[in-house]
Amino acid sequence: MTAAAQPPRIPSDDRLKWALREALFAGLISFGMFVLYVGLETTQNIRNQLVLNQRWGLLAILVAIAVVGRFLIVYFIGPWFAARKAAKAAKTEVPTQSLLRRNIGWIALLALLVFPMAMVWLVGPQKSLKWVDNYGVQILIYVMLAWGLNIVVGLAGLLDLGYVAFYAVGAYSYALLSLYFGLSFWTLLPLAGILAAFWGIILGFPVLRLRGDYLAVVTLAFGEIIRLVLINWTDVTQGTFGVSGVPKASIFGIWSFEVGADNNFAKAFGLRQSSAYYKIFLFYVILAMCAVTAVVTIRLRNMPIGRAWEALREDEIACRSLGINTVTTKLTAFSIGAMFGGFAGAFFAARQGFISPESFTFHESAIILAVVVLGGMGSLFGIAVAAIVMIGGTELLREMHFLKTIFGPDFTPELYRMLIFGLAMVIVMVLKPRGLVSVRNPTAFLHERKAVSSAFTKEGHG
Amino acid sequence: MEYFIQQTINGVTLGSVYGMIAIGYTMVYGIIGMINFSHGDVFMLGTFAALIMFLILTSLVAGMGVAAMLLVMMATAIVMSSLWSWVIERIAYRPLRGSFRLAPLITAIGMSIVLSNFIQVTQGPRNKPIPPMVTKVYDVYGVTISLKQILIVLITIVMMTAFWYVVTKTSLGRAQRATEQDRKMAALLGIDVDRTISITFVMGASLAGVAGAMYLMYYGVATFSDGFIPGVKAFTAAVLGGIGSLPGALLGGLLIGLIESLWSAYFSIDYKDVATFSILAIVLIFKPSGLLGRPEIEKV
Amino acid sequence: MTQHPEERRLSGDEVLRVEHMTMRFGGLIAINDLSFSAKRGEITALIGPNGAGKTTVFNCVTGFYKPTMGRILMRRSNGEEFNLERMSDFEINRDAKVSRTFQNIRLFTGLTVLENLLVAQHNALMKSSGFTVLGLLGWRPYKDAAKEAIEKARYWLEMINLVHRADDPAGDLPYGEQRRLEIARAMCTGPEFLCLDEPAAGLNPRESLELNTLLRSIREKHDVSLLLIEHDMSVVMQISDHVVVLEYGAKISDGTPKHVQNDPRVIAAYLGVEDDEVDEVLEEIEEVAEEVSHEHEAGQPTGDAR
Ligand SMILES: Nc1ncnc2c1ncn2[C@@H]1O[C@H](COP(=O)(O)OP(=O)(O)OP(=O)(O)O)[C@@H](O)[C@H]1O
Ligand SMILES: [Mg+2]
């Protein structure tokens, strides 16, 4: 099934034959794969018994797609790809960065700053909600989480599969402390970060000695433990019911967004009540938080600690031979990453107003990790792009109502969201194993800054 | 005492299922050093294959014996799990061989998402209950042992023996071990490495298929999300036993099963998974290579 | 770990002393009751056939392995003494100022050449950055320290003739340059005792000659004592002051290069002769030894620094 199996330069009618054979084979295989799961559907009848529904038409369509798709891939796309690869290999130089590329950060920041206003202006406050909140805020939360995890995975090379635990710690810290003690968002935001970092240290200390995939397993286990504790410690967390009525963030205590409050924002400015203002405010808050994350990450990277993280990812033993205390170095990466997760969690709780353990499943960790890896480990820009594509892209699926006219009224695009997300993960990774941005920017230079091709960087052992 | 024995039996049954899934994790990890995250969902595909075959058999072939039915269900589960696992390996893992270490991990996570959502989309999100197939129960000195428990343990023993034979006594097993040790050298010596790896995936998946069929028989229900928790538990078992070690996987599975059922019985059912994961973390912290794994000395 | 003066156990001119060190891997005895010492300001060579346990000695000295038995003492130029076998690997570099290279080069291949040298100055830079906190806020003295670190790196790049490759990834360098870079990286940690594991392996004759010059200047200009594993006898004979010979984990000879070179046990070890046959072949061997030593004397470059 791999294009690599294709022998180079075969006469075209042989290739046609070969492609046809591959297509037939793909058809057979996909028939085998789908015959039970697609051809038959298990449904409950009126007596609540399971019965089978037959869907041979759908099966035929899928098999046909496999056959045609395979044929196209083998006959057209494969050779085209190989040619492009060869052409790329011919010019080996890392392209010098254009003015646009170099200032992309500033341009993006500017665009983001005007984004909510532009949306309000374009579609009105009520309709802008969707764009500012579902797209803007949600994507930025993932950007922030992924940037936080990037410190752990991308820079220090420690595979953390339980990152969402720190997100949960942040969210529950804010939700519970604000509900029980009435503390404000702006006091609790740093506190949530500190608590998450603290948990990072507690969890990290015993496990960071572990090598490689064991670390991944233990972090996964810790992530699950924290989620299970949240579910079962009902006295405090209300278990699966979740914590609701989490107070909203205020504009530094001056204006509030709680509807009944005297200093309500809309009232103070004589505006019509709308939740859009709060969402726009949240957008700027998370944007600022992302900016802080980016600045801190960039600065840290240029500091001895950041360089030690990257060195650790490359070769831990060499690090130790240079007098670097690898345990504390890992621990700082782990806890700083956790801290950003905690910030994001507090923000998430303030935005949702309701949190439950459901939001902090392994699934979420996997998505964040996927964004980091798909973006290109270590590259803030690539990660942001990956977050936009993966999170925004799946969000867009909700919009695709026109699909209903094609596939019939029963078709619910949301259902396919995660399926497509998963497929996209696989496809992007297979096509670009090093992620979207795979070059590394050195942290210091003597003559000129040259990007380091990913062929040399290593991905860490932990 | 009876209560304890009863819970131990339940634990061993559950542990057998985990152990069989764990074999797939351990073999794949052993041979290509990758956590095959989609393996739990391959197991779930196995339960669904068995479920659908069960429905086909009950609606088409009236009055078929339970034993024959179980056999057919198991065979179907094996075939489907193996086929899917083989295809997944070909399209999502093989192109990434020798590349960036995290890349196959990400595609594996992606595949796991794809598989569970594929079943959710095609078969619906609801629980799928079937009428109990094997109901016979024995009473031994106050301890109830059900026939299905005996079946599960017996099938596990049979499968494991067959497996052990293949891995230690055949040339295929030798090829696997050679590939595990040094892939390049194995290739130079004429071992078809790609094929060996494919077969490893298929072998692991077929055990997951068997486990899936037994899981369905035991619990009588299947859901699309069933891959995750048993998958994670089985993976935990593999690591606990020492990843890369076949007896370790079985031992780990049994331990996890026992911890789970005894913890639920004596402490709290809510925290049974917390107990499992905590014990995993503790074992790894104090014995990082697992119970039966070979300790790795870093050669400098 | 610092010893009181009255407990001082190394004489002033000793920098490292290994006492009765044994290292076992399961049943395998890699090092067996080994004792030797290295003098300050000297280049000590550790030689022996493949698998004799040389790298294992290094790993014990630098803390990567913990010896099963024995003591390893190190004395810094300020008189501080350390029990290396009780310290962990990074402390040995940080506090006892022992630095090393690896037989299989371990550079940070994805970092640039310059960055490799900056990572080596981690501890110094960490201090001057106020453990990151002050540096993060843009503290002035840290900026100066960072500049100084780059200058130090530049100095070492000049020493190893790699200034022009400073901004290329270390993985992109040819083998010989990687070896030199690894030595420079070890030197950037500011060591007093430098352990080099086969620095000349895989070098061509010209590079090998350059290496000799480099090692000598390291010893003379930087007050560093060296411990060197080497298979290339010409390097050993030319630059070392003192040679320790290992075979099957035990010391079989110890002395000046001349002495070792003529030691029949050494020659027997290298030719693979059993102990009891030594006498029989002694005569034969002496002839060979003579030839070898002549060759080396002829091969010595003019202007030898000694
Ligand atoms: N981590 C380890 N585990 C088990 N055995 C080891 C380990 N490290 C070294 N050995 C064994 O110790 C013995 C000495 O090895 P060592 O690497 O010290 O030899 P060497 O003198 O450096 O050889 P060479 O000249 O080939 O580098 C060898 O038999 C080796 O297999
Ligand atoms: Mg060696």
Lowest mean pLDDT among A248-262, B16-30, B36-50, B141-155: A248-262
Is the per-residue pLDDT at A1 higher than 50?
no
**Amino acid at site C159:** M
Given a cut of 70, is residue A271 above it in pLDDT? no
List of chain A residues whose C-beta atoms are within 8 Å of the C-beta of residue C64: 317, 320-321
Strand partners, C77: none
C chain contacts of residue A318, beta-carbon cutoff 8 Å:
102, 106-108
Give the highest mean pLDDT range of A438-442, B202-206, C70-74, C301-305: B202-206
Between CA B159 and CA B151 the distance in angstroms is 12
Q: Is the pLDDT of residue A149 over 70?
A: yes
Position A86 scores a pLDDT of: 76
The per-residue DSSP string of A146-189 comes to HHHHHIIIIIS----S-THHHHHHHHHHHHHHHHHH---HHHHH
- Locate C193 and state its tokens: 């005792």
Return the H-helix or E-strand segment holding C247.
Answer: strand C242-247
Q: Give the whole-number percent of chain A exceeding pLDDT 90.
A: 16
Residue nearest to atom 10 of ligand 1 (CA): C30
Which ligand ends up closest to the CA of C57? 1
Query: What's the ipTM?
Result: 0.88
Residues making up chain C, counted from first to last: 306
Q: How far apart are the first and last CA of chain B?
A: 52
Neighbours of A240 (CB within 10 A): 12
Residues 6+ apart with CB under 8 A from C84: C61, C62, C63, C72, C73, C74, C92, C96, C98
| pLDDT at position A144 | 93
Lowest mean pLDDT segment, chosen from B78-87, C183-192, C198-207:
C198-207
The encoded tokens of residue A298 equal: 């960039």
Q: What is the pLDDT of residue C299?
A: 45
Those residues with Cβ within 8 angstroms of residue C122's Cβ, 6 or more apart along the chain or in another chain = A304, A307, A308, A311, A322, A323, A324
**CB distance C52 to ligand 1 below 6 Å:** yes
CA distances for C93 relative to C22, C99, C191, angstroms: 22, 6, 7
pLDDT digits (tens, 9 = 90+) for A309-324: 999 888 888 998 998 9
Please determine, for residue C199, whether its predicted confidence score (pLDDT) is greater than 70.
yes
Looking at residue A160, what is its pLDDT? Answer: 87
> For the ranges A84-93, B204-213, B288-297, C207-216, which has the lowest average pLDDT?
A84-93
Tell me what pLDDT residue C218 has: 84
Q: Are A351 and A137 in contact (CB under 8 A)?
A: yes
Mean confidence (pLDDT) of chain A: 81
Q: Each residue of A157-189: pLDDT tens digit? A: 888 888 999 999 999 999 888 888 877 888 888
Closest residue by CA, ligand 1 atom 22: C55
Ordered by start, the domain boundaries in chain C are 1-97+192-263, 109-189
For residue B181, pLDDT over 50 is answered with yes
pLDDT above 80: residue B64 = no
CA angle centred on A150, ends A149 and A156, rounded to 5°: 105
Q: What is the pLDDT of residues B2-18, one digit of tens each?
A: 788 888 999 999 999 99
Q: Is the Cβ–Cβ distance between B109 and A369 less than 8 Å?
A: yes
B74 has pLDDT over 90: yes
A339 inside 8 A of chain B by CB? no
Instruction: Indicate the pLDDT class of residue C273, thresholds 50, 70 and 90.
Output: low
Give me the pLDDT at residue C63, please: 87
Least confident of A203-212, B192-201, C72-81, C142-151: A203-212
Give pLDDT tens digits for B224-242.
988 888 888 898 898 888 8
pLDDT of residue A142: 93
Residue A356 tokens, joined: 């439950």
pLDDT of residue B204: 92
Helix locations, chain C, DSSP H: 54-61, 89-94, 113-119, 122-128, 133-136, 140-159, 175-188, 205-222, 233-239, 257-261, 264-271, 278-299
DSSP 8-state symbol, A275: T
Q: How confident is the model at residue C6 (pLDDT cuts 50, 70, 90)?
A: very low
pLDDT in tens, C11-27: 768 888 888 888 888 78
pLDDT over 90 (residue B141): no
User: Could you give the residue ranges of the DSSP H alpha helices within chain B?
Assistant: 2-32, 39-60, 66-88, 102-123, 147-169, 171-181, 183-188, 193-219, 228-241, 246-266, 272-286
Instruction: Give, in words, the CATH class of A113-399+432-456.
Output: mainly alpha
Cβ–Cβ gap B284/A38 under 8 Å: no
The residue among A430, A432, A436, A440 with the most chain B CBs within 10 A of its CB, best to mutate, is A430
- Three-class SS state of A69: helix
DSSP state of C3: P
**How many residue pairs bridge chain B and chain C with CB atoms within 8 Å of each other?**
7
C25 lines ligand 1 (CB under 6 A): yes
What are C240's two structure tokens? 């070392």
Domain boundaries, chain A: 3-90, 113-399+432-456
- How remote is the CA of residue C227 from the centroid of ligand 2, in Å? 13
Q: List the end-to-end C-alpha distance of chain C, in Å, as a whole number.
A: 36
Residue B215's pLDDT band (cuts 50, 70, 90): very high
**Could you tell me whether strands C43-47 and C225-229 are parallel, antiparallel, or unpaired per DSSP bridges?**
parallel
Residue C31 has φ and ψ, to the nearest 5°, of: -130, 135
With bands split at pLDDT 50, 70 and 90, how would you rate the model's confidence at B45?
Answer: very high
* Separation between Cα atoms, residue C228 and residue B35, nearest integer Å: 41
Q: Would you say A358 and A182 are in contact if contact means Cβ atoms under 8 Å apart?
A: no
What band does C5 get if pLDDT is binned at 50, 70 and 90? very low
**Chain B CA closest to residue C60:** B300
Strand partners for C98: C193
List the structure tokens of A199: 């948990």
User: What's the CA angle centered on A153, arms A148 and A155, to 5 degrees?
Assistant: 85
Confidence of residue A267 (pLDDT cuts 50, 70, 90): low
Kindly state whether A455 is in contact with chain B, defined as any CB-CB distance less than 8 angstroms.
Answer: no
- At position A248, the amino acid (one-letter code) is K
Phi–psi pair at C197, nearest 5 degrees: -100, 105
- Residue A133: per-residue pLDDT: 73
| Domain regions of chain B by residue span | 2-227
Spatial neighbors of C99 by CB under 8 A, at least 6 apart, are: A321, A322, C93, C186, C187, C189, C191, C193, C194, C195
pLDDT at res. B61: 76
The answer to whether residue A374 neighbours chain B at the CB level (below 8 Å) is yes
Confidence at residue B300, expressed as pLDDT on a 0 to 100 scale: 67
Alpha helices of A276-325 — where are they, by DSSP H? 276-301, 304-314, 316-321
State how far the Cα of A63 lies from the Cα of C122, in Å rounded to an integer.
Answer: 59
Segment B172-177 mean pLDDT: 84
C51 lines ligand 1 (CB under 6 A): yes
* pLDDT above 80: residue A220: yes
Selection from A440, A421, A394, A398 nearest residue A139 by Cα: A394
Q: Are strands B128-129 and B221-222 parallel, antiparallel or unpaired?
A: antiparallel
**Residue found by looking up tokens 């497929």 in the block:** A423
Q: How confident is the model at residue C290 (pLDDT cuts 50, 70, 90)?
A: low
Mean pLDDT value of segment B216-220: 91
pLDDT of C295 > 60? The answer is no
| Coil vs helix vs strand at C70 | strand
**How, if at all, do strands C28-39 and B143-146 pair?**
unpaired
Are B118 and A44 inside 8 Å of each other by CB? no
The pLDDT tens digits for A107-139 are: 778 877 777 777 677 777 667 677 777 787 889
Distance CA A90, CA A87 (A): 5
**Residue A319 CA, ligand 2 centroid: distance in Å:** 20
- What pLDDT is attached to residue A285? 86
Burial of C5 (0-12, 13-18, 19+ CB in 10 A): exposed
Task: List, as ranges, residues with CB under 5 A of the ion ligand 2.
Answer: C 55, 103
Report yes or no: A299 at the B interface, CB cutoff 8 Å. Answer: no
User: Worst-scoring range by mean pLDDT, B95-104, C6-15, C252-261?
Assistant: C6-15
**Is C153:C118 a contact under the CB 8 Å cutoff?**
yes
Model confidence at A375: pLDDT above 80: yes
Listed range (A397-411, C31-45, C182-196) with the worst mean pLDDT: A397-411
Instruction: Please give the structure tokens belonging to residue A445.
Output: 């230079």
Q: Of B259 and C129, which is predicted with more confidence?
A: B259
In this prediction, residue A10 carries a pLDDT of 58
B95 to A362: CB separation less than 8 angstroms, yes or no: no
What pLDDT sits at residue A44?
83
Contact A323 C125 (CB under 8 A): no
Grouping H, G, I as helix, E, B as strand and the rest as coil, residue B145 is: strand
Predicted local confidence at residue C279, as pLDDT: 57
Residue A4 pLDDT greater than 60, yes or no = no
CB contact under 8 A, A42 and B118: no
- Is residue C32 in contact with ligand 1, taking CB distance under 6 Å? no
CB of C155 within 8 Å of a chain B CB? The answer is no
Say how far apart CA B193 and CA B185 lie, in whole Å.
Answer: 10
CA atoms within 13 A on the CB side of A257: 21
DSSP line for A327-368: HHHHHHHHHHHHHHHHHHHHHHHHHHSEE-GGGGSHHHHHHH
8-state DSSP, B34: -
Q: Give CA–CA dist A73/C27, Å, rounded.
A: 56
Tell me which chain C residue has its CA closest to the CA of residue A314: C108
Q: Do A319 and C119 touch (CB under 8 A)?
A: yes
pLDDT at B168: 86
Task: Specify the length of chain B in residues.
Answer: 300
For residue C283, the tally of other CB atoms under 10 A from its CB is: 9
pLDDT beyond 80 at C107: yes
Distances (CA, A) of A451 to A448, A455, B139, C169: 10, 12, 72, 9
Query: Which residue has the CA at smallest separation from atom 14 of ligand 1?
Result: C53
Q: Does C106 touch chain A (CB under 8 A)?
A: yes
* CATH of span C1-97+192-263: 3.40.50.300
